[in-house]
């Protein structure tokens, strides 16, 4: 039975891939569509539960009247059948209604909504450009995705379980009291108006105070984590005292904001109890007076008392639910700042897969200034024939990385075109374009998974032998054999830690090179691929890299000019333009910028100016 209700909704079903709405209610509705008619059943069973509960109190009053009107000896003979039917309803039908409501709310709604929200948010975030992730903290982005799910699920659950149920209960109570005498329903209706107005007023203030308290809490956490992450510097410079004061100032701010939040909680409790006192006196007082006038019965007074006491207990819970809804609204608004952002780089509606025939790359009058009008690339035209190996050289900021990023469509060029085998990169799918390009960057971070998973990331369908062969070619197999993680994983099963932190820089780089070797893409980009390797390992792997380049179109960026001297061609960039183009010997003979850079190298590195 549980599985049936759990599988009524598939949280990972295909959905509209467009940018999620940026406002709360449209965003919630975008998620409710997948739940379809089941939300109608949630509402219907919620109404039934509320009616059953109020009806139970109403019938308790009737029992009191029956006891008052019937002689003890004749009671069961007169009312036994009716009471037996009521007992059957209470023992069997009432639990069925309540369980049905909980099955819809908990198994169908709560069991699927969190994962649906997180999955769709994560799927949308993966489509964002590199610039999007470079302009924010990965921790903050992931935190927003993770918090968004519980906020949406809990808000929806409480709308049904709290607000919808309570509203039905109160309206049913007003109807029951009105049936006794309209003068009994009037105080409850007035209380309801006052209660809603007060709750709304206090909840808005709580939402503001809660947001400020949350900000202060984040500040404390940030400063504490900053000290721990840089504990070596703290100790080297003997600045523990300064760090204590730095965190203490944030904690003082947190204390003040938390105290303001708690003041509102105390104020809330006081106002709630005043309103509840008005409810009890306002209903029971008239009920007793009407009984003395012979207008209502003892059973009706008892039912009015039970309804009032029940509402007195429920009111605190309803107010807490309302405040939680306002808190969740703040979390959802914060999450939508990242989740409801349109993709900067998108596939064209009719984008086809890239077809690699030879591997020619052409930059046709390309300019890209990152929206600033200066910097980046300025009218670059460059053709790299299929199979040619080209070295890119230039001072820091000359535009080398910009050229590669535009080729990979991490960004779109502001002007000009980039073509691979005559196909403009904007006209093909991003996945097919990047599948055709293997890249080893200067800072090759690894996934927090096993060594095997990281190497197979290049070609998941590769066999174990092919993976090990790639590791051997990258001079990585020997050290991998000796790896062991704290959980007992050994060799290729060892976990590398977040971003590969458990490995040295050279080890990370060799695993990254093995991953690209396994991918075996027709176009190869090397961005300081051997910068993290010591001279001995670099010498051992250099021939392997050149062997890997055979038959591929290669773009290699390097400050260590000796690593690209054997390239077919060297292109020199300066201030976003191609200023020199030729072989190593030709550029040395030219006596220009490249020759000057070569002459100024110390130990094979390009000196900074």
Using 50, 70 and 90 to split pLDDT, how confident is the model at 485? confident
Given a cut of 50, is residue 427 above it in pLDDT? yes
Asked if the structure places residue 511 within a domain, the reply is yes
Q: Verify that 460 and 368 share a domain, yes or no.
A: no
Asked if the structure places residue 309 within a domain, the reply is yes
Q: Verify that 409 and 505 share a domain, yes or no.
A: no
Rounded to whole angstroms, the Cα distance separating 276 from 312 reads 6
Neighbours of 539 (CB within 10 A): 11
Average pLDDT over residues 351-373: 90
Given a cut of 80, is residue 574 above it in pLDDT? yes
Using 50, 70 and 90 to split pLDDT, how confident is the model at 609? very low
Among 518, 538, 569, the domain boundary falls at 518
CATH code, domain with 31: 1.20.1560.10
Q: Verify that 244 and 392 share a domain, yes or no.
A: no
Q: Are 260 and 209 in contact (CB under 8 A)?
A: yes
In this predicted structure, what is the pLDDT of residue 421?
94
Answer with the residue of higher pLDDT: 546 or 341. 341
Task: List pLDDT tens digits, range 186-240.
Answer: 888 888 888 888 888 887 787 778 767 767 776 787 788 778 767 778 888 888 8
Percent of all residues in the chain with a pLDDT value above 70, rounded to a whole number: 95
Answer with the residue of higher pLDDT: 399 or 419. 419
R_g over Cα of the chain: 35
Best CA proximity match to 121, nearest among 313, 298, 331? 331
Give the largest Cα separation in the chain, rounded: 124
Cα dihedral angle (215, 219, 225, 226), rounded to 10 degrees? 140
Task: List pLDDT tens digits, range 136-147.
Answer: 766 667 877 888
Asked if the structure places residue 2 within a domain, the reply is no
In this predicted structure, what is the pLDDT of residue 531?
65
Most confident of 115-124, 160-169, 444-453: 115-124
Q: Verify that 455 and 366 share a domain, yes or no.
A: no
Answer with the residue of higher pLDDT: 80 or 425. 425
- φ, ψ at 416 (rounded to 5°): 85, -175
Tell me the C-alpha to C-alpha distance, in Å, between residue 258 and each of 156, 396, 533, 605.
Answer: 27, 48, 51, 55
Among 290, 312, 339, the domain boundary falls at 339
Among 518, 544, 571, the domain boundary falls at 518
Average pLDDT over residues 552-556: 92
Rounded to whole angstroms, the Cα distance separating 320 from 318 reads 5
Q: Verify that 287 and 357 share a domain, yes or no.
A: no
Pairing of strands 389-393, 553-557: parallel
CATH code, domain with 500: 3.40.50.300
Asked if the structure places residue 179 within a domain, the reply is yes
Rounded to whole angstroms, the Cα distance separating 441 from 445 reads 9
Average pLDDT over residues 308-327: 79
Task: List pLDDT tens digits, range 491-520.
Answer: 999 998 766 777 887 888 889 889 999 999
Rounded to whole angstroms, the Cα distance separating 311 from 314 reads 5
Q: Are 90 and 52 in contact (CB under 8 A)?
A: no
Given a cut of 90, is residue 444 above it in pLDDT? no
Q: Verify that 514 and 530 share a domain, yes or no.
A: no
Domain range holding 585?
352-436+521-609
In this predicted structure, what is the pLDDT of residue 532?
57
Given a cut of 70, is residue 461 above it in pLDDT? yes
In this predicted structure, what is the pLDDT of residue 364?
94
Asked if the structure places residue 14 within a domain, the reply is no
Given a cut of 70, is residue 537 above it in pLDDT? no
In this predicted structure, what is the pLDDT of residue 191?
86
Average pLDDT over residues 21-42: 89
Q: Are 214 and 328 in contact (CB under 8 A)?
A: no
Average pLDDT over residues 428-433: 94
Given a cut of 50, is residue 608 above it in pLDDT? no
Task: List pLDDT tens digits, range 576-593.
Answer: 899 999 999 899 999 888
Tell me the C-alpha to C-alpha distance, in Å, between residue 361 and each of 554, 555, 564, 568.
Answer: 10, 10, 19, 15
Rounded to whole angstroms, the Cα distance separating 496 from 499 reads 8
Q: Verify that 297 and 415 share a domain, yes or no.
A: no
Task: List pLDDT tens digits, range 259-314.
Answer: 888 888 788 878 878 888 888 888 888 888 888 888 888 888 888 888 888 887 77
Task: List pLDDT tens digits, range 53-112.
Answer: 888 888 888 888 788 788 877 888 887 888 888 888 888 888 999 999 889 988 999 889
Residues 6+ apart with CB under 8 A from 142: none
Q: Verify that 139 and 227 share a domain, yes or no.
A: yes
Q: Verify that 387 and 474 share a domain, yes or no.
A: no
Average pLDDT over residues 391-408: 89
| Angle in degrees, 0-180, between the axes of helices 24-32 and 138-158, rounded to the nearest 10 | 70
- Ranking 160-174, 243-257, 311-325, 361-375 by mean pLDDT, the lowest is 311-325
Q: Verify that 207 and 183 share a domain, yes or no.
A: yes
Q: Verify that 44 and 147 share a domain, yes or no.
A: yes
Using 50, 70 and 90 to split pLDDT, how confident is the model at 603? very low
> What is the DSSP track for 315-371?
HHHHHHHHHHHHHHHHHHHHHHHHHTPPPSS---TT-B----SS--EEEEEEEE-TT
Asked if the structure places residue 555 within a domain, the reply is yes
Domain count across the chain: 3
In this predicted structure, what is the pLDDT of residue 466?
94
What pTM was estimated for this model as a whole? Answer: 0.78
Asked if the structure places residue 10 within a domain, the reply is no
In this predicted structure, what is the pLDDT of residue 432?
94
Answer with the residue of higher pLDDT: 69 or 458. 458
Q: Verify that 229 and 362 share a domain, yes or no.
A: no
In this predicted structure, what is the pLDDT of residue 573?
92
Asked if the structure places residue 4 within a domain, the reply is no
């Amino acid at each position: 039975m549980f599985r049936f209700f759990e599988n009524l909704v598939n949280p990972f079903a295909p959905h509209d891939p467009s940018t999620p709405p940026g406002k709360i209610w449209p965003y919630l509705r975008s998620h409710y569509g997948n739940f379809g008619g089941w939300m109608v059943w949630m509402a219907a069973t919620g109404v039934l539960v509320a009616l059953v509960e109020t009806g139970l109190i109403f019938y308790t009053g009737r029992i009191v009247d029956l006891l008052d009107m019937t002689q003890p000896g004749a009671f069961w003979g007169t009312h036994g059948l009716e009471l037996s039917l009521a007992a059957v309803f209470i023992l069997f039908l009432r639990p069925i209604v309540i369980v049905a409501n909980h099955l819809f709310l908990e198994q169908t709604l709560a069991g699927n909504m969190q994962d649906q929200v997180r999955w769709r948010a994560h799927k949308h975030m993966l489509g964002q450009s590199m610039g999007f992730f470079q302009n924010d903290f990965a921790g903050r982005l992931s935190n927003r995705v993770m918090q968004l799910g519980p906020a949406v699920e809990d808000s929806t659950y409480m709308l049904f379980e709290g607000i919808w149920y309570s509203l039905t209960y109160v309206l049913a109570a007003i109807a029951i009291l009105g049936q006794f005498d309209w003068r009994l329903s009037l105080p409850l209706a007035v209380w309801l108006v006052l209660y809603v107005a007060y709750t709304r007023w206090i909840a808005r203030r709580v939402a503001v105070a809660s947001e400020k308290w949350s900000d202060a809490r984040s500040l404390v956490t940030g400063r504490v984590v900053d000290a721990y992450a840089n504990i070596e510097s703290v100790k080297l410079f003997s600045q523990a005292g300064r760090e204590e004061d730095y965190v203490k100032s944030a904690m003082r701010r947190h204390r003040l904001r938390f105290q303001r939040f708690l003041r509102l909680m105390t104020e809330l409790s006081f106002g709630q109890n005043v309103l509840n006192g008005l409810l009890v006196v306002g209903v029971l007082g008239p009920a007793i007076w009407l009984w003395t006038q012979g207008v209502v019965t003892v059973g009706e007074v008892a039912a009015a008392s039970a309804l009032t006491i029940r509402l007195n207990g429920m009111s605190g819970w309803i107010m807490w639910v309302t405040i939680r809804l306002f808190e969740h609204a703040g979390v959802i608004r914060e999450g939508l700042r990242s989740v409801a952002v349109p993709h900067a780089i998108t596939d064209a509606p009719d984008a086809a897969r890239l077809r690699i025939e030879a591997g020619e790359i052409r930059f046709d009058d390309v300019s890209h200034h990152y929206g600033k009008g200066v910097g980046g690339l300025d009218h670059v035209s460059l053709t790299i024939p299929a199979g040619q190996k080209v070295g890119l050289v230039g001072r820091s900021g000359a535009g080398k990385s910009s050229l590669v990023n535009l080729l990979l469509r991490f960004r779109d060029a502001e002007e000009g075109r980039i073509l691979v085998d005559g196909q403009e990169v904007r006209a093909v799918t991003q996945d097919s374009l990047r599948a055709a390009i293997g890249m080893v960057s200067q800072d090759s971070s690894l996934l927090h998974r096993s060594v095997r998973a990281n190497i197979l990331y290049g070609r998941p369908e590769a066999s174990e032998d092919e993976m090990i062969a790639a590791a051997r070619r990258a001079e990585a197999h020997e050290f991998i054999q000796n790896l062991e993680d704290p959980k007992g994983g050994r060799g290729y099963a060892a976990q590398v830690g977040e971003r590969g932190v458990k490995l040295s820089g050279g080890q990370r780089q060799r695993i990254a090179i093995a991953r690209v070797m396994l991918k075996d893409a027709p176009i190869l980009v090397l961005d300081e691929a051997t910068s993290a390797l010591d001279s001995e390992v670099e010498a051992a792997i250099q021939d392997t890299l050149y062997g890997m380049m055979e038959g591929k179109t290669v773009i290699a960026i390097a400050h260590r000019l000796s690593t690209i001297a054997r390239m077919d061609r060297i292109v020199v960039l300066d201030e976003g333009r191609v200023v020199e183009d030729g072989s190593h010997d030709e550029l040395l003979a030219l006596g220009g910028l490249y020759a000057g850079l070569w002459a100024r190298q110390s130990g094979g590195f390009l000196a900074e100016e």
